[in-house]
Amino acid sequence: LALPQRSPFNLQKIEDGHLNNSLGSPVQADVYFPRLIVPFCGHIKGGMRPGKKILVMGIVDLNPESFGISLTCGESEDPPADVAIELKAVFTERQFVRNSCVAGEWGEEQSSIPYFPFIPDQPFRVEILCEHPRFRIFVDGHQLFDFYHRIETLSAIDTIKINGDLQLTKLG
Residues 40-75 pLDDT 10s: 999 999 999 999 999 999 999 999 999 999 999 999
Domain harbouring 58, CATH code: 2.60.120.200
DSSP tag of 122: -
Residue 8 lies in a domain: no
My answer on whether omega of the bond before 34 falls inside 30° of 0, hence cis, is no
Residue 48 lies in a domain: yes
At residue 63, the pLDDT reads 97
Residue 78 lies in a domain: yes
Residue 25 lies in a domain: no
Contacts of 159 (CB under 8 A, 6+ apart): 41, 42, 43, 44, 71, 72, 73, 74, 75, 81
- Please tell me the total count of domains within the chain: 1
| Burial status of residue 146 (CB atoms within 10 A of its CB: 0-12, 13-18, 19 or more) | middle
Residue 113 lies in a domain: yes
Residue 62 lies in a domain: yes
- Per-position pLDDT tens, the chain of length 172: 544 444 333 333 333 444 433 444 444 444 544 468 999 999 999 999 999 999 999 999 999 999 999 999 999 888 889 999 999 999 999 999 999 999 999 999 999 999 999 999 999 999 999 999 999 999 999 999 999 999 989 999 999 999 999 999 999 9
Threshold 0.85, pTM exceeds: no
Residue 112's domain comprises 40-171
Residue 3 lies in a domain: no
Residue 58 lies in a domain: yes
At residue 35, the pLDDT reads 66
My answer on whether omega of the bond before 79 falls inside 30° of 0, hence cis, is yes
